[in-house]
A and B are shown apart, each in its own frame.
Chain A
């Protein structure tokens, strides 16, 4: 990745006007704040039913200072395609169209409209902020809820694997796929800038790990710690897939290069109430899988 920016390099203008409905200590709010700073004011957003709809506020008042369309839960990809088509007819090709959806809206109900948009190579940036459940409706499991996590529909912990959505999007052959983490906002900013500036004209996809205090069971003031543990333990890796080429970045790359020591996954699991039912045996198995994944990374990148 290009030069790492500092807070002073980030534009001061805030597009999310404070006093929103999002919970205190919300990861999605932090990620959204930096994503919008990166895209700037020449942007139109479309958002399906989710915590982001709540954040945006209720008619006739809105919390975000950019044009935004509320769309139906399943149709974010189609909605963004429609906005793009209308802008193209009006000759406004320079406007960025951002589709901003949750993990339920992306990996479950919205996957077909997104897949269609990506297959058409529609000129949009699609971002999925992943709080790993249906949070707006009170924490039900999604296709992106990890193994072992408590939700109201998985009371003894989810028994299935999660979907690997960024890899599904990469399989569409789109030029830019990246993962980000809400608690590394500057890395996230750079990825949105790169998607906007370097890959305009095609579909770009960014998947953001977004810790959620009430849904995951931790104190709002621990947001940054929990989010960082996600990457430092190797649960949530930071990477980009540019024209099919996979590269690790930021902390994940430093771990693989041996510059930072990877933390044990138990630190991540035991810091959140949603993994209370996950047994020590299961944690040991997950640790083995992560070790194997990092062995493969080391073979390719170290």
Chain B
């Protein structure tokens, strides 16, 4: 690794020495700062696209900001969705189901 050049932790090789880290403790922002929080889930929220009216209630209330719209359709980023099920309990037309995660 180039001396004093910042690299996110996931790409810092094991043999890096403390002295090689930058002198000013500046962190760089990225998704997954604690890893793939999708692994926290017990239940997975699944949007039924047929029932969904795109009212954006779930988008508004999701504390993680993992619900997004693409091409007029709603998606959930399961890599980071923590499975809190707020979207499931707040959807006004019950268009979100909860499905148990399996290993």
Contact = CB atoms under 8 A, between A and B. Distances in A.
Interface of A: 6-8, 10, 12, 14, 16-22, 24-27, 29-30, 33, 57-65, 183, 185-186, 220-225
Given A20-B37, A59-B25, A33 B8 contact: no
A20 B62 CA distance: 13
A157 to B, nearest CB: 27
A12 B60 CA distance: 10
Nearest to A64: B29
A221 B88 contact: yes
Of the candidates B37, B61, B84, B89, the one having the most CB atoms from chain A within 10 angstroms of its own CB is: B84
Contacts of B68: 12
Given A8-B56, A221-B89, A33 B63 contact: yes
Given A19-B31, A25-B85, 18 more contacts: A6-B56, A18-B31, A19-B34, A20-B37, A20-B64, A29-B63, A60-B12, A60-B25, A60-B26, A61-B29, A62-B27, A220-B84, A220-B86, A221-B86, A222-B89, A223-B86, A224-B89, A224-B90
A83 to B, nearest CB: 15
A60 B27 contact: yes
Interface residues of B, number: 43
Interface string B51-81: 0000111011111111010000000010110
**Chain B interface, DSSP helix/strand/loop, else mixed:** loop
Given A18-B80, A20-B64, A30-B63, A60 B33 contact: no
Given A60-B28, A221-B88, A16 B65 contact: yes
A233 B31 CA distance: 38
24 contacts: A7-B55, A7-B60, A16-B65, A17-B29, A18-B31, A18-B64, A18-B79, A18-B80, A20-B33, A20-B37, A21-B33, A24-B40, A24-B83, A30-B62, A58-B33, A60-B9, A61-B9, A62-B29, A62-B30, A63-B29, A63-B34, A220-B84, A221-B84, A221-B85
A76 B43 CA distance: 38
Contact of B30 (A61, A185, A224): A61
Contacts of A6: 56
Interface in B9-33: 9, 12, 21, 25-33
A20 B34 contact: yes
Given A19-B80, A62-B29, A14 B65 contact: yes
Contacts, number: 116
A164 B55 CA distance: 36
A264 B57 CA distance: 26
A298 B64 CA distance: 38
Contact of A60 (B21, B32, B36, B66): B21
A222 B21 CA distance: 43
Contacts of B83: 24
B65 to A, nearest CB: 4
B82 interface: yes
B31 A62 contact: no
A20 B64 CA distance: 8
Contacts of A21: 33-34
B38 to A, nearest CB: 8
A19 B61 CA distance: 16
Given A17-B30, A60-B6, A62-B29, A22 B63 contact: yes
